[in-house]
Amino acid sequence: MGEIAVQFKHISMEFPGVLANDDITLDIRKGEVFALVGENGAGKSTLMNILYGINTPTNGEVFIRGKKVEHFDPGVAISLGVGMVHQHFMLVPSFTVAQNIVLSREPKKMGVFFDNKGAEKETEKLVKTYGLTVEPSAVVQEISVGLQQRVEILKTLYRGADILILDEPTAVLTPQETDELFAVIRKIVREHGMTVIIITHKLYEVMQISDRVGVMRKGKLVGVENTSDMDERKLASLMVGRPVLYENLDKEDDIGDEQIRVDDLVVGDNRGLVAVDGVSLSVRSGEILGIAAVEGNGQSELLEAITGMRKIESGSVTIRGRQINGMDPGAIRGIGLAHIPEDRISTGVCADASVSDNLLMGKERNPEFNTLGIAQNNAAIRKYASEIYEKFDIRGAGIDVNVGSMSGGNMQKVVVAREFSFDAPVLIISQPTRGVDVGAIEFIHEQIIQQRNEGAAILLSSADLDEVFRLSDRIITLYEGKVTGEFKASEITKEEIGYFMTGKRETEAAHE
Amino acid sequence: MNDFGLLFNTVFSTGLFNEMLRRATPVAIAAIGGALTQHAGIMNIGMDGMILMGAFFGVLGSSIFGSAWAGLGLAVLVGVLVGLFFGLFVVKFKSDEFIIGTALNTFAVGLTSFLSRSIFGTQGAKGYPSLPNVTIPGFDKVPVLGAILNGHSLFVYLTWLLVLLFYLYIYRTPQGFWLRASGEKPQTLRTAGIAPERMKWTASILCGVLCCIAGAHLSLGYLNGTFAEKMSNSRGYIAFACVIFAASNPAKAYLAALMFGFFDAIGLRLQAYISSDLTSIIPYAITIIMMTYVVVSTRKKREKIHRRADI
């Protein structure tokens, strides 16, 4: 059925101490949308980086349209028609759209000079051909993430790509932008005969967009199927290697007193501009309030203000009846607040300290862990750390290794374990499972729900809408620092909430 | 009042602006080189050492071959070597550029002082063939402009050409776009099929050459064939400040260098009235004011971008 666009033959890729790709043989057909799924570290990106010439495989061969790749180099891959849109965009922020698109293949005038008009004309031509609208003279750092992604796709098309690799393209998009992207993918496949390989975590997207799907686990390709023969549950089991119970989080309905109260809060961002603009909210014990917002709309600053990490400009935050304005993070924790920060590496852990030190942090002054407040009691600390390590199913080389050497998922478990072991009545949770694999996500979600059922008041922010929906009792949407809507999680869909995340208010939506 | 008028006239004469141009040139040439490394994402704190090397080897070449042109040639050659040395550590071995730059400065002081004493003796080098001055006949009759612009050493004029040339290179050629991409987002350039290291090497070598030309101009043009120990006299750091102030734009860096030259020249003139220890503070005080301006203006610019993104 159809021609073969890309052939991987017995590809192995070994990094020092890790076999990232283990004897992979795979055909990608011309004109199909092929989804590549797998947990973090399963080797998807490694395999695609081989195709794009960034990695040179230890073993095996790659054929592009029947032609063997002799030399692995992005320049060679590009000339063979391979284009890749990376997860983190490869755009120069201070250049215009057109200048980014033609980079490395610039039109010239008088033999030596960059032809800016020519570049803009080329861009216009691409825009017309593929129906991907962008403004050629706009500066990249001033346009939205969704548009930046279009620029990335146009860039590959300008270089003549007909095999397009998209690495987690929807991670930064709103549901509407995702729909638009998928429409574009369908269009370029149908009308221009492109071959698209899409790497993703999100299984419903696999079902939505792909013709075939390949599942990777621990460096091996464990299955290639027609998407129509699969469903999300089967895919999840293949990815993890065991059945995943993806539903039925037991939520008990026992909502108590108000624990978090935010009134008309105004907070600035790092540049001194208003990031949180008059937000009010309230969370009671035994419930989870989820924040749905596209990144950069004030959710990070809101949570930092509540946890004392950012200055409150005006308004007030009350935790368990005490106003915390002007208090430092340590004092706020003293009232009974624990916090999983959004960036585990910079604020969640001390990467150069051991697992046991990281698990202890915040409790080191407790009498049981020291003698007269001077010498630490190592035996007690080790015992405590080992218990927590077991309880939270952290998998690594024990409690004595540096946290920095652990995988992202286990590092996150260390943060979750430490914070949840305070048994705090108030929990502020940000991006609990960012970059964490399916198995660990399941575990962390269960832990969050358990805290809720035990009576914690939880404020949750996540870039993953599915996660917000799965965990929350109520959801608020934030747009440009303002609350644009508040809903019961059971009474709204992801598509509907997307409108509020892009700035529509409840009242406006009601008119439509 | 009369005294003040006299003072004013002595300080603000055409001679002041002549002196400004003279003093700005070595800083400006080095700043063009610094703009290149800065665009390539390299914080080049080693320019002072590079200038010093150029100054010494310029005089050495002039003394050996009896020609300032040979001196300039030797300085350029040394510039290539210094650029390769800098690139080897910063680009190839990815060492800390601040440490390497500082090491280069210290090394240059030691090497040139040692060689100067062994070859020229403790007095230093004096009176070797120097680069020509350019006097356009009749131009000195033009009021004001003639007195300011005429009769300078060759590189005062060649610098204008260098500024234009490198301005075009950075902002108007594909290679210039690669250079800027290599500093701002190296991975982007790599995935476009061009190794960012290639542009970083180019910038390092060109910067070495330009700084050594600045040094050769200093010893062979500015001071007529003279080498004295540590004669770069922090010009490399001033050049670095110009680069930052100008956001790595060679044309703006030239203007910044002129400003330094201006205050430097004022300081020199005021020495007749005020302690020279005080007047020698002026260039550094200006640096601090400039850097404050940079911080404030970048903050404003970011806010502007943010506001535009809101719309």
A504-511 average pLDDT score:
55
CATH 2.60.60.20 fits A4-240, yes or no: no
| Range(s) within chain A of domains with CATH label 3.40.50.300 | 4-240, 258-353+424-511
Instruction: Give residue B103's pLDDT.
Output: 96
Across the interface, whether the CB atoms of A94 and B305 are under 8 A apart is answered: no
Percent of chain A with pLDDT over 70: 95
CATH architecture of B14-267: Orthogonal Bundle (1.10)
Q: Which CATH class is domain A258-353+424-511?
A: alpha beta
The CA distance from B198 to the nearest CA of chain A, in Å, is 13
How many residues are recorded in chain B?
311
A271 and B306 within 8 Å at the Cβ level: the answer is yes
In the three-class reduction of DSSP (H, G, I as helix; E, B as strand; rest coil), residue B161 is classed as helix
Q: Where are the domains positioned within chain B?
A: 14-267
Q: What is the mean pLDDT of chain A?
A: 88
Check if the beta carbon of residue B130 is closer than 8 Å to that of residue B120. Answer: no
Which chain B positions have a beta carbon within 8 Å of A161's beta carbon?
none
Please check the confidence at residue A175 and state whether its pLDDT lies above 80.
Answer: no
B300: nearest CA in chain A?
A271
Nearest to A92 among B188, B190, B299 (CB): B188
Q: With contacts defined as CB-CB under 8 Å, which chain A residues touch B192?
A: 74, 78, 90, 103-104
Give tens-digit pLDDT for A40-96: 668 888 899 999 998 999 999 999 999 999 999 888 999 999 999 987 789 999 999
Q: Which residue of B has its CA nearest to A480?
A: B310
- Mean pLDDT is lowest, of A116-125, A362-371, B3-12, B268-277, for B3-12
Q: What residues contact A458, with CB distance under 8 A and at least 6 apart?
A: A283, A287, A288, A289, A426, A427, A428, A429, A448, A451, A452
Mean pLDDT for the stretch of residues A118-128: 94
Residues 193-232 of B with CB under 8 A from A: 193-194
Rg over CA atoms, chain B: 20
pLDDT in tens, A233-257: 788 788 777 665 555 566 667 788 9
Q: Do B192 and A90 touch (CB under 8 A)?
A: yes
Q: Give the whole-angstrom CA distance, residue B99 versus residue A41.
A: 36
Do B173 and A273 count as a contact with CB atoms less than 8 A apart?
Answer: no
For residues A449-474, give the mean pLDDT.
91
Positions in chain B short of pLDDT 70: 1-4, 6-7, 10-11, 302-311
- Of A304-313, A405-414, B52-61, which range is least confident? A405-414
What is the four-CA torsion angle of A379, A382, A383, A384, rounded to 10 degrees? Answer: 120
Instruction: Please calculate the CA angle B30-B46-B125 and round it to the nearest 5 degrees.
Output: 70
CA–CA separation, B261 vs A206, rounded Å?
A: 65
Q: Which pLDDT band holds residue A232 (cuts at 50, 70, 90)?
A: confident
- The pLDDT score that the predictor gives to residue B118 is 93
Q: Taking residues A310-314, report their average pLDDT.
A: 92
Q: What is the pLDDT at residue A306?
A: 96
pLDDT on residue A19:
85
Chain B residue closest in CA terms to A142: B309
Asked whether the predicted pLDDT for residue A507 surpasses 70, the reply is no
Model ipTM?
A: 0.85
Question: Which of A95, A104, A112, A147 should one mutate to test binding to chain B, selecting the residue with the greatest count of B CBs within 10 A?
Answer: A104
Contact A91 B188 (CB under 8 A): yes
Chain A, window 79-118: residues with a beta carbon less than 8 angstroms from a chain B beta carbon = 84, 86, 88, 90-95, 99-100, 103-104, 106, 108, 112-114
Confidence label for A204 from pLDDT (cuts 50, 70 and 90): confident
Q: Read off the DSSP letter of residue A171.
A: T
Of the candidates A309, A322, A318, A401, the residue with the CA atom closest to the CA atom of residue A348: A309
* A512 confidence band (pLDDT: 50, 70, 90): very low
pLDDT more than 90, % of chain A: 58
Within 252-311 of B, beta carbons closer than 8 Å to A belong to 299, 302-303, 305-306, 308-310
Q: Does the pLDDT of residue A12 top 80, yes or no?
A: yes
Distance CA A410, CA A131 (A): 43
Across the interface, which of A103, A112, A271 has its CB nearest the CB of B192? A103
Tell me the average pLDDT across A359-382.
88
Q: What is the pLDDT of residues B14-62, one digit of tens each?
A: 888 988 999 999 999 999 999 999 999 999 999 999 999 999 999 999 9
**B219: DSSP letter:** I
Residues B273-305: tens digit of each pLDDT: 888 888 878 878 888 888 888 888 877 776 665
Separation of alpha carbons A388 and A421, rounded Å? 8
Note if the pTM is more than 0.80: no
Q: Choose the closest CB to A142 out of B178, B185, B305.
A: B305
Q: pLDDT category, A27, cuts 50, 70, 90?
A: very high
Which of A78, A88, A106 faces B177 most closely, judged by CB atoms? A106
CA angle B268, B271, B275 (to 5 degrees): 135
